[in-house]
Amino acid sequence: MTRDTFYIAGYDPRGYRHYFSMFKKNINEQNKISSFTYQTSKAEIKKYPTWKISTPNSNTTYTFLAWNDVVKKNWSENLLDALKDWWSFFRIYTITGLFIKFGKESIYQLITGYYPFFYVLFSFSLTFFISAFGFYGVRFLMDFNSLSLIFASFIFIALFYFSIKILFEFGKKIGAFWISRICSFCANWEKRRQGVLDLRMNEFADTIFNTLKNNQNTKNYELILCAHSVGTILCVKVLALLVKKCLKENVKFHSLKVLTLGECIPLVSYQKISENFRQDLKFLIKQDKILWYDFGSIIDGACFAGVDFIKTSGVKEDKIFTYPKFLSPKFHTLYKKENYKKIKRNKYQAHFLYLFANEIKGDYDFFDFVAGEKMLEEKIK
């Protein structure tokens, strides 16, 4: 069989080289426990970076739909950016009361979302306390004159600067600002998508459409649109554009399948301003020919595991639909107990676990899904 897999990464400034290296390393690890022998080619850059994966009975072309250049333009790097992300989260998700809906649907996502929010509050509160203590300590030890006031003010500024710098660096190490970046980008989706990102999503749809059109009569063929994290939000728009193109030009899309991993779609779809996004969802659920599988894990605090983002987003369906299928990768069955405990504590690693090799052979196998033998629906239980 032949297959085309198109992959949309999450909100990540790293490009295809990082993802190709990660892919090749993990698919080689998967070879050790898999019944297949995956052979991966070198990456080539055509319109988008691609590489090929072969097994004795299948050939897959894997295309990395890059948008990391767009991410870089909106990437938060310094303290000021972190404060802007904090304000976006507070303005969009807290003041509006959306956090209540998030809590009802996914308490894990609520806790993770507020983790950086409260970390910033704690950091500034602690910094102010340390600085004030230094200021009044100096004033107490010295005479209350203009010289002591100047010296105490200098101590206050120095303590504030170094304390907030240390806490900011520590926050980066524990992944607090990585989560706030995701939340901020999604909070401002309607504004951020306009312009370059809208054009890029149209390009993605055109590229996939041309591949689908050229293979609409190919036997033993499937096309998988795979997305991870914030990439699943782009995936909704790209998928809607793609299907509309197919319907307009009468191109068959029976071979099209969708695989979303660690999705955070409600961060956009729950917002009142995101009516266009909900219309895309409403359009897609009427396309009963599309096979759509969504995997999410509760140890991944950056995703809405098991949440039906169609119904909970207020999208009214005109008929009963069977997709997306909301499934769990059951990571606890794929890793040794001691390693799984470590993974659970590392939220960043847990969020990328969907793309990694397993330690134990199980039902969830990313590389089998996107590059193995047999059709996708034959491999997902």
61 versus 176: the higher-pLDDT residue is 61
Q: Are residues 274 and 306 in the same domain?
A: yes
Does residue 356 share a domain with residue 262?
yes
Helical residues (DSSP H) of the chain, grouped into ranges: 16-31, 68-73, 79-89, 98-105, 107-141, 146-173, 176-187, 189-192, 196-214, 231-249, 266-269, 275-284, 337-345, 347-352, 366-371, 376-379
**103 to each of 99, 165, 304, 313, how far by Cα in Å?**
6, 32, 11, 14
Look over the chain and give the mean of its residue pLDDT values, rounded to a whole number. Answer: 87
- CATH at 270: 3.40.50
Q: What is the pLDDT of residue 27?
A: 95
Amino acid at 12: D
Q: Which domain holds residue 94?
A: 76-186
The domain tally of the chain equals: 2
Which whole-number Å values give the CA distances from 144 to 133, 137, 224, 231, in the listed order? Answer: 16, 11, 73, 59
Q: Report which DSSP code applies to 359.
A: S
Q: Same domain for 55 and 81?
A: no
Contacts of 316 (CB under 8 A, 6+ apart): 282
| Number of other CB atoms surrounding residue 107 within 10 Å | 11
- Which amino acid is located at 227 in the chain? A
Is residue 85 domain-shared with residue 209, that is, in the same domain? Answer: no
- Of 142, 162, 186, which residue constitutes the final position of a domain? 186
Q: Which two tokens stand for residue 284?
A: 């897609």
Are both 66 and 81 inside the same structural domain? Answer: no
Distance between CA atoms of residues 14 and 309, nearest Å: 28
In sequence order, which residues have a C-beta less than 8 Å from that of residue 337 and are 6 or more positions away?
none
pLDDT, tens digit, 9 for 90 and up, residues 113-171: 677 777 788 888 888 888 888 888 777 777 666 777 788 888 888 888 888 888 777 77
Distance between CA 85 and CA 69 in Å, rounded?
19
Q: Whole-model pTM? A: 0.88
CB within 8 A of 32, min separation 6: which ones? 357
Supply 373's token pair. 């033998």
Residue 294 in contact with residue 264, Cβ under 8 Å? no
CA distance 51 to 211: 15
Residues 110 and 238 placed together within one structural domain of the fold: no
Is the sign of the CA dihedral 337, 341, 347, 348 positive or negative? negative
d(CA 353, CA 230): 15
Asked if residue 139 and residue 62 are part of one domain, the reply reads no
| The residue count for the chain | 381
Integer Cα distance of 233 and 297 in angstroms = 17
Give the pLDDT confidence of 190-249 residue by residue, as tens digits.
888 888 999 999 999 999 999 999 998 899 999 999 999 999 999 999 999 999 999 999
Q: How confident is the model at residue 315 (pLDDT cuts 50, 70, 90)?
A: confident
Name the nearest CA neighbour of 67 among 12, 21, 17, 4: 12
Are residues 81 and 134 located together in one domain of the fold?
Answer: yes
Domain end among 186, 213, 236 = 186
The three-state secondary structure class of 292 is strand
Q: Identify the domain boundary among 138, 171, 186.
A: 186
Q: Provide φ and ψ at 229, rounded to 5°.
A: 60, -130
Place of tokens 């230094």: 134
CA distance 263 to 40: 27
25 and 140 co-located in one domain? no
Residues 167, 200, single domain; the answer is no
- 113 and 157 in a single domain? The answer is yes
pLDDT at 90: 81
Distance separating the N- and C-terminal Cα atoms of the chain: 21
- The type of residue at 52 is K
Residue 231: CB atoms within 10 A of its CB come to: 23
Q: Where is average pLDDT lowest: 28-32, 58-62, 198-202? A: 28-32
Whether residues 208 and 177 share a domain: the answer is no
pLDDT of residue 145: 64
Q: What is the pLDDT of residues 162-202, one digit of tens each?
A: 888 887 777 777 677 777 788 888 888 888 888 899 999 99
pLDDT class of 64 with cuts at 50, 70, 90: very high
Nearest Cα residue to 304 out of 186, 191, 225: 186
Per-residue confidence (pLDDT) for residue 181, from 0 to 100: 82
